[in-house]
């Protein structure tokens, strides 16, 4: 009897999970729009995990550079993965690169894609225009996802007619190394879309977490106020930036101090996020502007990428 019951439960649960997964979209073909820092990383990881990828950007030149960057990054990954077998390492790089094609015309490639991941410039109007245009050319089942760090997913989704097939898919830099993906569900995102994106994230070897469409999602909502609180501590003259960094590394076990992390992320990026939040909620003490951050950005001292931010780099 116990056996029969177990069998029955097993068959019920397997058939119900089969019908649930039948409803989900198995993402095989991905279009990544934007071949910069994040888009190149997303394309690399998707291709390396068996997806076919079309990478789209504005010019052939950018795309060629992007492909070169992906190949170099893949070689490093492959060298570690196949340390004992250089032939397998070369084959892995070759096979992965052969899964990536490039295009400067998104509208002409999205008709047969399962998922469009957008990683272009952080500007609401530009993102809305892109998705509004693509909506007309994209297959009915296709999911749209934005990698935005600070914009409201709902505002981008509202430019399309597929709000139920629209969500946030927020990767972290550098994409091939960082395990986390935040899957952002708006009030209009369907459960099927959400679950398809959770599954897709897992096939990339990532760990997805889910969050509602709230400013900064999980990581940036906690991280940006923390970074700014470190800046304010320093601005008030209460501790040096070197001591604040050392304190957080040795006392809190963080791999980087807040000023090191600010310089790594880019001061313009942090200022952009903070300004957006301040505009939205000017009274919130966590979202107040910082004089030192504003001054460094005005001087184009944006961190590691420009050779100087809170610290100087060679
Ligand atoms: N840099 C990060 O650490 C990070 C982390 C998570 C999310 N994000 C988000 O990812 C997105 C991209 O950031 P990034 O750092 O990769 O930027 P990036 O400047 O490195 O790359 C953006 C790319 O998009 C291309 N592009 C711009 N408009 C386009 C259009 N209309 N069509 C096609 N291509 C276009 C640009 O030519 C450029 O190559 C942003 O929304 C950003 O907020 C960035």
Mean pLDDT of 24-34: 97
Number of domains in the chain: 2
Is the pLDDT assigned to residue 190 strictly greater than 60? yes
- Find out whether 155 is annotated in a ligand binding site: no
Q: Which of 226, 154, 161, 169 is nearest to 200 (CA)?
A: 169
From ligand 1's centre to the CA of 122, what distance in Å?
7
pLDDT band at 22 (very low <50, low <70, confident <90, very high): low
Q: Catalytic pick from 220, 234, 260, 290?
A: 220
> Three-state SS for 81?
helix
- Give the predicted TM-score (pTM) of the model: 0.89
Residues 265 and 297 in one domain: yes
As to burial, measured by CB atoms within 10 angstroms (0-12 exposed, 13-18 middle, 19+ buried), residue 31 is buried
Q: Which of 212, 239, 265 is at the close of a domain?
A: 212
Closest approach atom of ligand 1 to CA 129: 31
Q: Are residues 205 and 266 in the same domain?
A: no
Which residue in this structure is represented by tokens 């077998």? 85
CATH label of the domain that carries residue 95: 3.40.50.720
Count of helix runs (H) and strand runs (E) in the chain: 12, 8
**138: helix, coil or strand?**
coil
Same domain, 244 and 265: yes
Q: Which pLDDT score, from 0 to 100, does residue 15 have?
A: 44
Percent of the chain whose predicted confidence (pLDDT) is above 90? 90
Residues 148 and 55 in one domain: yes
* Residue 145 lies in domain: 25-212
Please work out whether the CB of residue 119 comes within 6 Å of at least one atom of ligand 1. Answer: yes
Q: Report the separation in Å between the CA atom of 231 and the middle of ligand 1, taken as the mean of its atom positions.
A: 26
Q: Across the chain, what does the average pLDDT equal?
A: 93
Residues 200 and 76 in one domain: yes
Judging by beta carbons within 10 Å of its beta carbon (0-12, 13-18, 19+), is residue 309 exposed, middle or buried?
A: buried
pLDDT in tens, 243-259: 999 999 999 999 999 99
Question: Does 20 score more than 90 pLDDT?
Answer: no
pLDDT digits (tens, 9 = 90+) for 67-113: 999 999 999 999 999 999 999 999 999 999 999 999 999 999 999 99
pLDDT in tens, 115-163: 999 999 989 999 999 999 999 999 999 999 999 998 999 999 999 999 9
**Ligand 1 atom 3, closest CA:** 173
Q: Is residue 313 part of a domain?
A: no
**Both 176 and 55 in a single domain?**
yes
- The response to whether 122 counts as a known ligand-binding position is yes
Query: Which CATH number fits the domain that encloses residue 271?
Result: 1.10.1040.10
314 pLDDT tier (thresholds 50, 70, 90): confident
Among protein residues, the one whose CA lies closest to atom 2 of ligand 1: 173
Q: Is 168 in the pocket of ligand 1 (CB under 6 A)?
A: no
């Amino acid at each position: 009897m116990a056996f029969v019951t177990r069998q029955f439960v097993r068959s019920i649960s397997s058939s119900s999970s089969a019908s649930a997964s039948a409803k989900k979209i198995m993402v095989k073909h991905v279009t990544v729009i934007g071949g910069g820092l994040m888009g190149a990383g997303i394309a690399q990881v998707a291709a390396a995990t068996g997806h076919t990828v079309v990478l789209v950007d504005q010019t052939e030149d950018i795309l060629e550079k992007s492909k070169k960057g992906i190949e170099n990054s893949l070689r490093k990954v492959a060298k570690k993965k196949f340390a004992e077998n250089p032939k397998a390492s070369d084959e892995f790089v070759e096979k992965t690169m052969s899964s990536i094609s490039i295009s400067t015309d998104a509208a002409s490639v999205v008709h047969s894609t399962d998922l469009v991941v957008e990683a272009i410039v952080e500007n609401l109007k530009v993102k809305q225009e892109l998705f509004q245009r693509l909506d007309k050319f994209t297959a009915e089942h296709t999911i749209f996802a934005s990698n935005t760090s600070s914009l409201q997913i709902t505002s981008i989704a509202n430019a399309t007619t597929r709000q139920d097939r629209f969500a946030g898919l927020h990767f972290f830099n550098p994409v091939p190394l960082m395990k986390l993906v935040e899957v952002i569900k708006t009030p209009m995102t369907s459960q099927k879309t959400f679950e398809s994106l959770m599954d897709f994230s897992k096939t990339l070897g990532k760990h997805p977490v889910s969050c509602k469409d709230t400013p900064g999602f999980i990581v940036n909502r906690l991280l940006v106020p923390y970074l700014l609180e470190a800046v304010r501590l320093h601005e008030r003259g209460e501790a040096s930036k070197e001591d604040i960094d050392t304190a957080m590394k040795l006392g809190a076990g963080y791999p980087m101090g807040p000023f090191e992390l600010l310089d790594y992320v880019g001061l313009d990026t942090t200022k952009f996020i903070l300004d957006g939040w301040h505009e939205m909620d000017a009274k919130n003490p966590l979202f107040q502007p910082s004089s030192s951050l504003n001054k460094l950005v005005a001087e184009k001292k944006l961190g590691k990428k420009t050779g100087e931010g809170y610290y100087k780099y060679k």
